[in-house]
């Protein structure tokens, strides 16, 4: 649970593995999908379960989420998702990943208390 935030009830939750630079040490994250906001965007919280820096693996993680979860419901998370990455170390900042129309992305720090408000 994110401290300081009012939590919405999750619609879907799953753990996934993702490839890292060390093939014998995959990364692991917990993915939680929440109900759509008023804008129709779908909040997705990706919390690290290993010490890997998630910002180094944005493309790999988002591609896996798209393929394994969101392709089934025909939803493009790059355009319809609000994607938050929470680090393994709770003292490190959370980030929001924003994609552009051409598939590039930017990362901005967010206060954990602001996630899912």
Whole-structure pTM value:
0.89
The SS3 assignment for 95 reads strand
Of the pLDDT bands very low, low, confident and very high (cuts 50, 70, 90), residue 2 is: very low
Q: What is the pLDDT of residues 41-99, one digit of tens each?
A: 999 999 999 999 999 999 999 999 999 999 999 999 999 999 999 999 999 999 999 99
What's residue 115's pLDDT?
85
Q: Is 62 within 8 Å of 51 (Cβ atoms)? A: no
């Amino acid at each position: 649970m994110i401290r300081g935030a009012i939590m919405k009830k999750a619609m879907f939750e799953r753990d996934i593995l993702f490839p890292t630079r060390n093939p014998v040490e995959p990364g692991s994250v917990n993915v939680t999908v929440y109900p759509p906001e008023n804008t129709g965007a779908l909040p997705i919280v990706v919390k690290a379960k290993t010490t890997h820096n998630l910002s180094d693996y944005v493309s790999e993680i988002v591609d896996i989420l798209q393929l394994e979860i969101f392709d089934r419901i025909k939803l493009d998370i790059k355009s319809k998702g609000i994607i938050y990455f929470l680090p393994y170390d709770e003292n490190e900042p959370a980030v929001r990943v924003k994609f552009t129309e051409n598939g590039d992305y930017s990362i901005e720090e967010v206060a954990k208390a602001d996630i899912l408000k």
